[in-house]
Structure formats: structure tokens, C-alpha cells
Structure 1
Amino acid sequence: MSATSTPGSDEPVDKILERLSCDPARGLTQAEARARLERDGRNELPPPPKPSALKRFFNQFANPIVLTLLAAAVIALINGATQDKTGPFLVRFGDAIAIFLIVALNAVLGYYQEQRAEAALDALQKMQTPSARVRRDDKVVMLSAAELVAGDVLEVEAGDAVPADARLLQTINLATEESALTGESVPVGKDAREQVPADAPLGDRANMLFVGSNVVRGKGRAVVVATGTRTELGKLSELIRGAGGDRTTPLEAKLDQFGKRILLVCLALSVLLFARGMWKGDRHWHELLLEAVSLAVAAIPEGLPAITTITLALGMQRMAKRGAIVRKLAAVETLGAATVICSDKTGTLTQNEMTVTKIYSGRRSYKVTGVGYDPRGSIVGDDGDIMDTPSKPLRHLLQIVALCNNAELDIDDEGSWRAVGDPTEAALLTLSAKGGLPKESILPSHQLLKELPFDSDRKRMTILTLDAKGREVVHTKGSADVLLPLCTHFDDEDGLREMTAEDRECIVKELERMSSQQLRVLAVARRILGTRHDGQDGTAATDPSFKDSEPELVPKVLDLEQGLTFVGLVGMIDPPRAGVKEAVAACATAQVRAVMITGDHKLTAIAIARELGLWEEGALALTGAELEKMSPEELEKRVEHVRVFARVTAEQKLRIVRAFKNRGHVVAMTGDGVNDAPALREAHIGVAMGKNGTDVARQAADMVIADDNFATIVEAVREGRAIYRNIQKFIFFLLSANAGLLVTVFVASFLDVPPLTPLMILWINLVTNGLPALALGVDPPDPTQMSEPPRKTTTGLLTAREYLGIIYVGLFMGGMGLLTYFWPFEHGIGGASRMEERAAAFSLLALSPLFHALSCRSATASIAALKPKIAGPLALAILLSGAIHLVSVFIPALRPVFRTYLMTGEEWLILLLLSASIVPGVELMKLLQRVGIGGRSLGPVSRRSTES
């Protein structure tokens, strides 16, 4: 096996050292390290592939509607080139130019917004290059982690980030925090002597260090066995690249399908019209082609891509203000369709900060306020009184947890407190500070004599100190079931006394009560050995540096831990994040299932799930071991009832997400760790934590929550639903208005009257219809939508009844447009030429949708019942669109381009009346719906309040 292969944790150390040609005392030579670095490459993961800026820009055109518009532009360009070359340039090529400009505008908008999202994400991902202490040529040197090679000997201690996968050679009270890899919130003890089976899960490999973890306690020496892509982290990156590579969001899929349908309709009608003209043979082919292009342009909602992009972009900006950075525009609305949110526990639902919440001391129970490592908080008695002056047993407890402790508390530049060392010990330091006895106030009166560090066999830590009275005092903390049998005395309010059977029974009951709340419970005890006599050896522990002659650095003086005095119990937990419980309740109201996926223990996960409201009657919890035995079919059957997945691996998270997807769910996955990244990539939308999350997770996700607040997910669900509903609303508006255009152009072509030109149709679709459509697309979220079930992704953007509504509006509006060609007045419109009648139809079909937009504010409520009667943004959009259209009529230089003429006041009055007739026409349909005829709403518009 080559030196770069990753040996199993079950392999003997001597064989690993022999294969790697490594001397653990001297380390590699610089020459050998350089040779291995050239052969194996740097200890880095390859950056995730990113499409070039050019490719991202051209991706904006990968839409059937956009492609159809480009085809129409090419045809219009050819038609302009074949016309009379003496005509004005804008008259000949105005249609083609207008289409090309609209397509380009849409591409620029989409590219710009996605580029902004990438820039925001890159700002989050800035990180310092880690370093490592390495033995080279019999010296310990500091190197960049990227320069490590297999065979290097590492020296690690508390506070270090593990720079590569390594097999441990020596350990002293070593523990690492591996939540980013395994999801386990409690530090994992490490022991170089441990024998681990080859198939042991990652979290149980006690003789290994893994890149992506941090040392929280003790010291260790290890030999690097894997770097770069060969590490466990590297294997996860391969999973990420293989997961969800070709996925599309539900909106993308529906818009793609919707665009293809429109394309087929356009082609069919255009071919029919062109074939009919060629069959008659009375017109030139380029005139027929112009008619066919006009029909295609009339059928295609040209504003749809641009308005969809703008709507998504505005939603994206609103979400960014709430702390959610969306990397891909179409992903903004995906959470609105989510039926399942798979959430990591540690750091997402919980704070990843151990916090003491309960104390039992002197036969009294106490609660502890405050969360995390912030020392601001109080100890409150069962009577509600704050313990400003702790009782004697409680004071002893606070002294013990502060002295028997190797962690530190630190405060960062932002004023946030953090743990340096073991999170459990940091939580105990925080407790002593809340009780008014910070460690720095206790240390001066206690001289450390001996330390017996915590290990997995003894399950306790003990120190021997010399106090201010000259007494040798033993301070011990550890597992309650181990420490309690060693206690013979009880620390009471009245002083030290022998422990009775009743005392022991009370302690056991309190221990069971705390454990039933899934608290991690530690017992604390002490023993006063007496006044120190001359000649006693009070030497502190030997210097904790690695020497081959010192296999045991601290003697285990077990007799110190006999005859102890029980002082109390301390219960702690990794608490839920603020606002998460309310966010979970909001998800339940919205009929979105929240599922916890964690690497933590099953009982702990269930307890957190109960507290957050995730757990319900009939819910199931599965462990990774149980899941491993299930076939994909079995998992899919049971997954509907599972609310907690515990002790799962990265591969199993992928299986869970795929099982939900196979059941027809739209899956959102939240997470912050490296082990979450493959599932983030596989889900319909991955949501990573930006503040405390890993870079790998952020790269794999579609959305990054900058504030790590789970409640932001609920806001994203609300925003996503609002965006989708608004998209449906303006699609109905645009398609029904386009249907009016289509009817007019198609029938006019068969009646041998001049149809609207492509430029006229584009002007109506983009300029006059665009602003009202945009106003309908940016309505704020409707409060009622969060009490409705998620939409079904199996249905199209519009239902059959909504298509019938489009046909109704199209026939009505198109009929009004055709009426302008045959108005029975002797003067005015009726007395004008066919070209002027076309100009009148152009104005009518530009103004009628503006009135129709008023009816699209509500599905069934009449305009009179709405409050306000006219929405401000929509009213402004209608006025602006009307004014813009008048430019094409009143500006003399534009009349030849748009084929318009200056109409009389009587003609304008007739046009306005015909245009406004769409409002009573649609209101009649709403009335029939309200009295029970017609079933569902005419269009998929927001259910605004109809209170009068």
C-alpha cells in the first residue's frame, strides 16, 4: 500500500509507522516531506467548480420563452431586411430591436442578481489559513496546514484545529469536538491505546483525529495518514459533487414546462396562419411571415421572464435584509413549496453551547438563568429567590466546578462569549461566575498540588489543592453513577455529616428527575485531608511534554477519591436557539413537517424535539444503526412517521433526503457542518448557516442564513409562498391580456384587415402591461397563506379552470379590439381607414389590460369590497403605463414607428369605455363564483381580505 493510502483505525500503530517510513520521535526530514508534497499534492480540498461569468450570463437564455423570442427576433430581422430599403430604419428593424433589447434586459437582470448573491457569499467565506505544529528533523516547527504530508508527526493541544486525518500515538486527557463532521455536540474522548473495529462509525474512532474537528481538551501526538481529498472530509466533498448535480427547483421546472406549452401553441398557430396565406397565394411571403411573427409575439408573454426575474430579485433582496442570502434566483420561492424541512440539531436548532440549567445541592434544587457562555445570569432557588449569597453547600459546589476545570471563557470583538477548551467545563465556569464566584476570585486562595485528569475509565476528574487555611482539599467532578458510590458524607447547611440512606435516596431521585429531562448530569464532591505537615510532597503534576521515558505523566492517586463528601449535582444541556420553538410552531401551522437529523444520541435528540414541539403522538425516532438495516423501500414506508433521526452519517442523511423526495415531498435541508453538505446538495433547497457554519456547507447550499437563526427559515417559507402566488397572479394577468391580443391578431388576419405589428404587440406586452404586472408581483405576503398547505408540485402553474378564465378574458378583450375595426359611426373611428382602425385597436388593447389589472387584486371579492379600493403601487403603475402609451400617440416623431395617428376626443371616449368594459365583465364572473357557480377563482390571485 502506498504512503498516501488511508489506513484503518483497526491497524496496529507499528505497521502504520513502517508503511509511512516515519520515526515518531524525529519526524520526517524536510527533503522527504518536499518529495511527498510534490507526489501527493497540497493538503487542500479543490475549490468547488464555478461556471465562468460568460457561462452564467448565457445560462440566463436557457428558457423556452426566451429562445422563442430570439427566434421571433431573427425572423423580424429577416423581414426588415427584405422590406423597402428606403424606409426608416426604426420602421424596418424596430420589431427585431425591441425583442433583442427585452431578451438582453432579462439576461442582465438575472446575471446581476446572482452575481450579487455570490459576492455576498464570498464575503462570508473568508477564513484564515490554519497552521500546525509538526516534527521535522527532530524539531517542532509551525507550518501551514496545506504543507502537511502523510507521515508527518503532529503535536496537538486544546484550542488547535486538526489539520489532517491522523492516527494517534500518545494522548493525555485528549478530547475533540467533531460536531461539524458527526453532528455530536459532546466532545469525544480520544485514546491512542484504543482498538477500534474497521467498520466503526466516524464518531466512535477514538484513536483517530479528523480534519474539520477541534481539540478542546488535553494534548496528543499523531501521525498524519491522509491529506487533501483522501481525508474523511475529502470523501464528503466527493459526495457533495455527486449529489443533486442536475436538480432544478419546482419553479424552474414549471416555468420550463409552461414555456414549452406556449412555444407549441405559438408554432401551431403561426404555421397555420402562414400556410393559409401561402395557400391563398395573394400576398408576398415576407408579409405572411410578418403576420406569423406578429401572432407568435402576441401569444408569448414577453414580459414574463423579465417580470419573473424582477419579482424573484426583489424577494431575494427582502430576504437578504432578514439575513438570508440566496445564491440562485429561482431558489427564492422553493421554500414556499417545501413540505419537509430536515434540520440539523447542533448549532441549528440548538446553540451548540452547553448550559447549566439545574443544580441540586444541600437537599435543595435550583434553576440557572441565562444561556450559553455569557456569565450574566442568576441561580434561582425553588422559592423563586435569587441566590445573591449562596448557601455553604452551593458555595462549595461553585468552588469545585471552577477549580476542577481547564477551560477558559473569552469574549470576541462583537461582545459574544465563547468557550476555549471543553464546552462542558466552559459551562461550569459560566455557572460559577453566575453564582458570584468566578474562577479568578477562587484561584488565589487555592494552590494546585496534583491533578488526576478525566479519562473514559474513571469517568471523573480530581484535583488536590492547598487552601488558604493550609488544608489539603480534594475536588472531584464526574459521572454521577460513578462518583456517588465513592461518597460517604453529605455536605449540608449545618456542615459535614455522614450520608444516610435517606440522603442517598433523595440524590438518586433527583438524578433520575434530571436525567428524565435529558440533562447531562455531573456529580461534584470534595474531601478535606487535613492540615499539611512538613515533608509532604506537594509537587504539582509533571511537565506535560512528550518524552519517551514518561508514558504516564500524572500518577493516579486513587486513594484521594475515597470517602468523599457529596456536594451536589449539576444538570446541563445544549439549549434550543431563541425563537426556534415559535418557528417550529409556525411550520406546523403552515403544514410543513420539521424533521430533526442529528449525529447526537437518540434520547437527547428526542428530548430536544419534545421541547421544540417537533415531537407528536405516534412519532418515531430512528438511529443510524436501525436505518442501516433498512432497504430503501422500508425507509420510504416509515419515513412519513419519523420526526427524529439520531446518530446518522453523511451517507445516511443522503438516504433520508432521497426517501422523502421519492415520497413526493419538496425537501429543504438545513445544516452547518461538513457532514450536512451532501444532503444540502441533494435537497431541493439547501439552507446553510453563515455565522457558525462551515465553508463546505455554505458552498453546497442554495441559501445561507447569515444570522444562523432558524426563525429566518420560516420567514423564507412565508416569502417563498408569497412570491409563488404573486408569480401566478401576474402570469394570469399577462396571459389573459395576451389572449386578447392573440384573438385580435388571429381573427384580423383571417378577415383581411391589417393586424397589429410585432412592435405594437411588444409595446403593449412590455411597456404598458409590464408595470401593472410588476405591481401585482410585489404584493406583500398574505397572512392567510401560512395557514394553508404547501402547493402541490405535481400541478402546473395554472389549473384548467384558470386557463378557462384566460380564454374568457381573451375573448372579451379581443372582441372589444375587433369592434374598433367595424365601429358603425359615420365619423370618427368608423370613418377612418383600415390603418387608422388598427391604430385604434392598438390603443384599446394597450388600455384595456390596465383596467383588467384592478380585477386581478382579488380572486372572488368585488373591487368595491376591497380595502383600499385601489392599491397604491398598482394605481401608480396604471397611471404610468397609460402615460407611457400616450407617448406613442402624441409624439409626432413616433407615430410613423408605431403606425398611430392623433385621435379626436370622441374617439378617446369610445376607446376608454370599450377598454373599461373588461371590469364589469370580470366582476360578473366573480359574482357567479360567489353565489356558487364556477367553483374556483377565475385567476390565481391573492386572497386578500374582503371585509367591508
Structure 2
Amino acid sequence: EMGKIADALTQAKDEETPLQIKLNQLSKILSFIVLGICVFIFVFDIVRAAVVGDAITLSSTLEFFMVAVSLAVAAIPEGLAAVVTIVLSIGVTKMSKRNAVIRKLTAVETLGCTQIICSDKTGTLTQNKMTVVDYRGTDEKLLATAMALCCDAEIQEDGTVKGEPTEAALVVYADKLGLKKSELEQSFARVGEAPFDSGRKMMSTVHKTENGFVQYTKGAPDIVLSLCTSAYLDGKKVPMTDEIRTAIADANKEMADQALRVLCAAMRTYKEQPSNEPQELEQDLCYIGLAGMIDPVRPEVVDAIKECKNAGIRPIMITGDHKDTAVAIAKQLGIIDDSHTAITGMELSKMSDEELDANIERYSVYARVQPEHKVRIVQAWKKRGMITAMTGDGVNDAPSIKNADIGVGMGITGTDVTKNVADMVLADDNFATIVSAVEEGRRIYDNIRSSIQFLLSSNLSEVLSIFFATLFGFTLFEPVHLLWINLITDCFPALALGLEKGDPDIMKRRPRNSKDGIFAGGMGIDCAYQGVMVTVLTLVAYVVGIMMASPEHLSLAQVFAVNDASDASHLIHQNGMTMAFLTLSMSEIFHSFNMRSRRQSIAKMGSMNWYLVGAMALSLVLSTAVIYIPFLSKAFDFAPIDAREYFTALLLAFLVIPIVEIVKLIQRKANK
């Protein structure tokens, strides 16, 4: 059996998350674009030099190559990998504080597009605090004795109960009737047993008595009752009749409809000790009675189910309980309204994989299921292209957890095997914690997209600035300038965007399609126009810088002709380059505030992102320092511009906010 589980685990493949897939695609696209632009610019410079009659020397060729390198530096978002990793790590820390322990970093993002949550009932949707509240039978003390002896739970000396919750409830039930298990075991010593098995759905124990041996069996009412040939009624054993069997089945359904978990007890006597083989023990039984226990639903789960449905996520309940009990609890929780959406494991076993794939959307409740059924359920939903989460606690649940897009292990009741294959472990075994994790996953993905859009639009502006400067025949930035902007000016705001609190209505929208690309929803167009906008402002800053540095008014043609070897022209060019650098740096900083929301106005964002304010202050200080500290200014070949030029560059940079606000307003009206 362990080998079967191990084989099932090895059959489950580790798949990349949607974000990993999209980022890999993006990196390939960027690589080809960068190489194409570099080759084009390098060849363009050589051809232009040949056309105008300039000598193509090793020095000039190296200069052309350095321009191409500048474009490569500008095009590659060096901070993207660090930003994504750090944002995911911070998200993991936040989730752990909400009892969701993430074992795989990439699972954070996958949670954000979860469409199906398949959850065990006991302990996850319910409190796992079983209490016997009803019984059906003519001898309650005999029923309680059978239930207490045919289980492994025990009441400790300090009054606490050690054992599985269902069995613990049975021992407490007997204790309240004055039947202490420790005393019962002295009178009825256990000499044999057939342990509980999820396939048989029952357990049997054999006890030595003064008159021989007695066997007690407890388990699923429908299974145990099918093995009974007699019944213990009114103090005597009578043959089982169809009338008695029907009455017992009706009592079972009545209790199950009240959301009670029902167990049936039966007995059998022997003169000599029987073997421990289940097929020999569990036949020709005498029915004793039914015990109905309640496992109250977690109050917070009802709201979590509503939140799931509002968010377009479908909750699925999986349980070993009787179908009627499962339906009653599912209705209490709001998972279903119609009992026709429930199916049993036996019905599931009769379905082929093709039939299940075709009908999977019909069912929201699975009762009397085996662990192997959970694997089929997960695979059927995944074939529909649904991102599926599956919970589990037992060793047999490991394959289904491994197969799910998000495997969720139980921190309290879960086995080590289950926890080790899970992507996420619930420290409180609570379904509501899964929903909280999904919300956090959505927020993180939104923030990562904002960071990506910010970085790509910023890098596009750098590429276009260098590209057009090269076409006009002058050098706008050196590679070191662009590295400074990418690693210092861009990274801090991108990280701050990853810490946004998120849209308050984030759980009122449907899950995103996992097949959607990075640029879905018009993000590609946004990156393009925002990159062009910053490019225009940067080139304007260069022109203004040259004109403000020149003692006399220059025509546009003269402006672009100043990039020559003379000292005066170099100083003028230096001034323009410094203003362009400051404008580009700060326009990207100001643009990061636009990226707090792709469509919402900054004025309506509510609480301020103080991390972003800090990033802006830090970037402004560092950008100013590199211009005005002498040894840094010299290393970067910057001119110490005056206050008028400095604030002119900042004003040009600030224009990105009103421009994007106007575009957002148009986009909002268009969406309406």
C-alpha cells in the first residue's frame, strides 16, 4: 500500500505556476528584442558613418558597440527577478501570520487564480469537536458499551480525551452514562481486532467474557446494517426482517438530515476465540443501535463560503460521511441548495474517467469517498483548465494533494507525509484560512503586475530615449547611467509597489484566467504609451538643458549639433544630459505612484503607501547626490546644474502624473 502511494506521488508532475510560465515567455521575448535592437543600432551607426564619409576605426567601432550595449542595459529590467522574489517572500510572511504556512514560494501566486477549492469536511469546514446528541435503539447502555469498547480513544486521568475526535465522542458518551472505559476493559478484555479501514468503513474488536467471546463492530450504518441478520430489540435477539431494516434505515436518514454523523453498532458472540480476519468476523451480525453525533460547522466558514462565491471560486466538499449527512451540512454552509449536486464514492467508482470529465461540473458534494477518488476529482477539474486546490490530512491523501495545483495539508491533524507534499499547510486546519490565502495571493499578483508594468514602461522609455538620440546623432546616456536608474531608481519603487494593500474589492471579481499573458487587459498598451510619454519628457529635458546652458538662443538643429569634442559644446551637452538624467529618474519615480492602481485615480486611493513615499525620497536623494557630489558627478560625467534647471527637470518629470490621470479617466469612461 505504501508503494502504491509512493508510485502515485511520482506520477504527479511538478508544474510551473502561471506567473513562472509568463515570466519565462517574457524573458524570451525581451531577449530577442534586445538582441534585435542592439544589432540594428550597431549596423545603423556603421552605415551612417560610411554614408557621411567618416572613417570607421577601431575607436569608432567600439563607440558604436558601447551605444548598442547601452540599449541592452536599458532594455533589460535587471531588478525584476529580485522584485518578484522579494514580493513573494513578503507575502509568505504575511500569510504565515494568518495561519497559512507556504512551503513553496511560487504557490503564493497560484493561489491568486484558484478557481476550485476541494475541501475535506471534518475539521476544516467543521470544528472537529464531535458530540453524541442522539441515539436510536432499545438498549442505550449496550449501544454505549459497544461504541466505547470498539474504539481506541481513552479518557486520561486528568479528564482529557486521547484519540481521534469521533471515537473520543463515543468514549465521552459512554462515560456520561456511567460506563467508564477503563472499567469496561477490565470486564471485557480486548483479545483481537480488525482495525478500521476506509474501504470496509468499519472496525471490529473481540473481547473475552465469562461466557466466551463477544465481538463489537461499529461503522457506516448502511454497510454494517447490510451484514446484520438479527437485531437486539427490547432485551432480546430477533431475526432481521425487511420491516426492521426499513425502520433502521429511516432512523438513519432522519438523523443524517439533521446534519448528524451517524455510526451503527452491532455484535456477535462466540464460544471460542475467532480469527482476526475481517471477512470472517464481519458477517452474521446482530444490530444494536445508531449513535448520532454533531460536529458543529465553523461559524467563520459560512462567511468564507459566501466570499468564495462572490470571488467566482467554487467550493467543493469531500467527506466520508453518509450522503444525507453531507448534503445537510453542505446546505448549512451554503455550498449547495440542491441535493442532486451530491454524489457518493460508489457512484463515482462506476463512472469512467470520460463520464466524470463530462459531468464534473454537476457535483459540489462528494460523500463516502475513498482517497483515490480525490485524485480523479482533481484531475477532472484540471482537464477543464481549472486551477484547483485540494485539502487532505491522511497518508492516502498525499497523491491528490500532489496532483492539485495547490495542495493544502492540515497542520494539526495532518500526517508528515501530507505536509511534505503540500504547497501550503494550514496551522489551524480552517477553510477560512484558505480563502484568506487566496485573497493575499490575488493581492500579491496584482502588485507583481504593477511592478512589472512599472519596470517595463520605465525600461521602454530608456530604450526609446537612446534609440532616438542615436538616430539624431548624439549620445544621451552612458551604460553606467542606465544601470544606476535600473538598480537604484527603479528597484526601490518597484519593491514598494509590491507592498500595496490592494483593491478593497479584490474578492468581488472572478479569478483571472491562468492562460492570460502578462500583458492581458490592455497592460501592453499601457506600457507602450507610458514609455513613449517618459521618452518625450526626457528628450524635452535634454533640449531644455542645452538651451538653458547656452549663452544664446539656439535653433533645434544647433541643439543636436553641440555633441562634439569642443570643451564648450561638451559642457552644454553635459548640462542637457544631466537634466535628461534627472527628468528620466524622477519621472519614473512619480510614475510609480500612477502604478498603485491601473485604473483608479491616485486621489481616490485612500490610505497612502508610505513605502512608496520613502522610495521616492530615497531615490530623489541618491539622484541628487550623484549630480552634486563632486567625485560622483565626475565619475558620471554630470554638470552641477543650477536650482532653476534642477526644478525645471523635476517639473517635467512630475507631468507624468496628470497625463496618466487624464488617460485613466478616459479609460474608466470607456469601460463604463
Which interval holds the TM-score relative to the shorter structure? 0.7 to 0.9
Equivalent-residue separation in structure 2 for 1:753 and 1:425 (angstroms): 83
Q: In the alignment, does 2:650 pair up with 1:874? A: no
**Structure 1 pair 714–669 and aligned structure 2 pair: CA distance change class (3 A):** same
Aligned residue in 2 for 1:244: 13
Shift of 1:727: 0.9
Q: Secondary structure at the match of 2:187?
A: strand
Q: Which SS does the other structure have where 1:753 is aligned?
A: coil
Q: Distance in 2 between matches of 1:874 and 1:792?
A: 29
Q: Which runs of 5+ in 2 are unaligned?
A: 195-199, 237-243, 277-284, 553-570
Q: Any idea what the Cα deviations from partners look like across 1:872-906, whole Å, max 9, x if unmatched?
A: 22212211111122221122221232222211111
Change (3 A) 1:729 1:513: same
Answer whether contact 2:633 2:639 (CA < 8 A) is retained: yes
Q: Secondary structure at the match of 1:691?
A: coil
Picking from 18, 26, 34, the partner of 1:258 is: 26
CA 1:667–1:830: 2 relative to 1, 3 Å: farther
For residues 17-96 of structure 1, the aligned pairs below 5 Å read none
Which of 512, 518, 531 in structure 2 is aligned with 1:797?
A: 518
Please name the residue that 1:943 is paired with: none
Does residue 853 in structure 1 map to residue 596 in structure 2? no
Pick closer, same or farther for the CA change 1:634–1:643 going to 2, 3 Å: same
Please say if residues 829 and 840 of structure 1, whose CA atoms lie closer than 8 Å, have aligned partners that are also in contact: no
Change (3 A) 1:352 1:673: farther
> What is the identity, as a one-letter code, of the residue corresponding to 1:899?
D
Q: Alpha carbons of 1:359 and 1:617: their partners in 2 closer, same or farther (altered >3 Å)?
A: closer
The answer to whether the Cα contact below 8 Å between 1:356 and 1:571 also exists between their aligned partners in 2 is: yes
- State yes or no: 1:323 paired with 2:44: no
Q: CA deviation at 1:338?
A: 0.8
Partners of 1:602 and 1:647 within 8 A in 2:
yes
Aligned residues: 615
Cross-structure match for 2:657: 919
How far did residue 354 of structure 1 move? 4.8
2:162 is matched with 418
Work out which structure has the larger RCO, using CA pairs closer than 8 Å and 6 or more positions apart in sequence.
Answer: 2
Q: Match of 1:899?
A: 637
Alpha-carbon shift at residue 419 of structure 1 (Å): 1.6
| Structure 1 unaligned blocks of 5 or more | 1-231, 363-392, 467-473, 491-502, 527-540, 543-548, 554-560, 937-948
Pair 1:513-2:513 in alignment: no
Decide whether the 8 Å contact of 1:754 with 1:835 is kept in 2. no
Kept after mapping to 2: 8 A contact 1:248/1:684: no
Distance 1:776 1:411, change over 3 A: farther
Q: Give me the whole-angstrom Cα distance separating, in 1, the residues matched to 2:371 and 2:235.
A: 48
Q: Which amino acid aligns with 1:857?
A: R
Higher helix content, 1 or 2: 2
**1:277 has 2:277 as partner:** no
Corresponding letter in the other structure for 2:582: S
Q: Which residue of 2 aligns with 1:617?
A: 338
CA positional deviation for 1:790:
0.1
Q: Is the 8 A contact 2:575 2:639 kept in 1?
A: yes
1:274-673 counterparts in 2 under 5 A? 274-281=42-49, 282=54, 284-345=60-121, 348-350=124-126, 354-359=130-135, 407-410=152-155, 417-419=161-163, 425-433=167-175, 435=176, 437=178, 439=180, 443=183, 448=187, 485-488=231-234, 512-517=253-258, 519-521=260-262, 570-572=291-293, 576=297, 579-598=300-319, 602-617=323-338, 620-648=341-369, 651-673=372-394
Alignment-mate amino acid for residue 735 of structure 1: L
For 1:458 and 1:691, how far apart are their aligned partners in 2? 24
8 Å Cα contact 2:188/2:207 also seen in 1? no
Using the size of structure 2 for normalisation, the TM-score is 0.79
List per-residue Cα deviations over 1:172-196 (Å, max 9, x = no partner): xxxxxxxxxxxxxxxxxxxxxxxxx
Please list the CA deviations of residues 512-534 of structure 1 after superposition, one character each: whole Å capped at 9, or x if unmatched: 521433645468999xxxxxxxx
Does the CA contact (< 8 Å) of 1:605 and 1:644 recur in 2?
yes
Contact 1:399–1:437 (CA under 8 A) maintained in structure 2: no
Give the distance between the partners of 1:743 and 1:576, measured in 2 at CA. 59
Q: Which residue of 2 aligns with 1:386?
A: none
- For each residue in 1:364-401, what CA deviation from the matched residue of structure 2 results, as whole angstroms up to 9, or x when unmatched? xxxxxxxxxxxxxxxxxxxxxxxxxxxxx98x689857
**Is 1:755 equivalent to 2:476 in the alignment?**
yes
Per-residue displacement from partner, 1:23-75 (whole Å, max 9, x unpaired)?
xxxxxxxxxxxxxxxxxxxxxxxxxxxxxxxxxxxxxxxxxxxxxxxxxxxxx
Structure 1 position 459, deviation (Å)? 9.0
Contact 1:400/1:524 (<8 A) preserved: no
Cα 1:266/1:618, change in 2 over 3 Å: farther
Deviation at 1:315? 0.2
The one-letter code matched in structure 2 to 1:409 is: E
> Given residue 342 of structure 1, which amino acid in structure 2 is its aligned partner?
C
Partner of residue 839, structure 1: 578
CA distance in 2 between counterparts of 1:458 and 1:745 reads 77
- Deviations for 1:103-155, whole angstroms, at most 9, x for unmatched residues? xxxxxxxxxxxxxxxxxxxxxxxxxxxxxxxxxxxxxxxxxxxxxxxxxxxxx
Aligned to 1:929: 667
In structure 2, relative to structure 1, the CA distance for the partners of 1:416 and 1:291 (3 Å cut) is farther
Structure 1 residues 525, 597: closer, same or farther in 2, change over 3 A?
closer
Greater Cα offset, 648-657 or 694-703: 648-657
Distance between the aligned counterparts of 1:431 and 1:628, measured in 2?
35
Q: Is the 8 A contact 1:705 1:712 kept in 2?
A: yes
In 2, the alpha carbon distance for the partners of 1:703 and 1:518 equals 29
Q: Is the 8 A contact 1:620 1:641 kept in 2?
A: yes
Q: Closer, same or farther in 2 for the Cα pair 1:403/1:516, shift >3 Å?
A: closer
Quote how far apart the aligned CAs of 1:613 are: 2.8
Identify if the C-alpha distance between structure 1 residues 302 and 437 changes in structure 2 by more than 3 Å, giving closer, same or farther.
same
Q: In the alignment, is the contact (CA less than 8 A) between 1:597 and 1:648 conserved in 2? A: yes
Cα RMSD (Å): 4.2
Q: Please tell me whether the aligned partners of residues 546 and 573 of structure 2 are also in contact (alpha carbons under 8 angstroms).
A: no
Shift in Å at residue 277 of structure 1? 1.2
**Helix, strand or coil for the counterpart of 1:668?**
strand
For residues 635 and 476 of structure 1, what CA distance do their matches in structure 2 show?
38
Q: Percent identity of the aligned residues? A: 39
State the one-letter code of the partner of 1:686: G
1:699 corresponds to which of 399, 408, 420: 420
The answer to whether the Cα contact below 8 Å between 1:816 and 1:914 also exists between their aligned partners in 2 is yes
C-alpha change, 1:889 and 1:399, in structure 2 (3 Å) is same
User: Would the alpha carbon gap of residues 341 and 268 (structure 1) be closer, same or farther in structure 2, given more than 3 Å must change?
Assistant: same
**1:920 Cα shift?**
1.5
The letter for the 2-side match of 1:248 is: E
Whole-angstrom CA distance in 2 between matches of 1:774 and 1:315? 12
**Which among 429, 438, 441 is matched to residue 708 of structure 1?**
429
Report what 1:38 is aligned to. Answer: none
1:686 partnered with 2:407 = yes
In 2, are the aligned partners of 1:249 and 1:330 still within 8 Å (CA)? yes
Indicate the SS of the match to 1:329.
coil
Give the structure 1 partner of residue 282 of structure 2.
none
The amino acid across from 2:232 in the alignment is: L
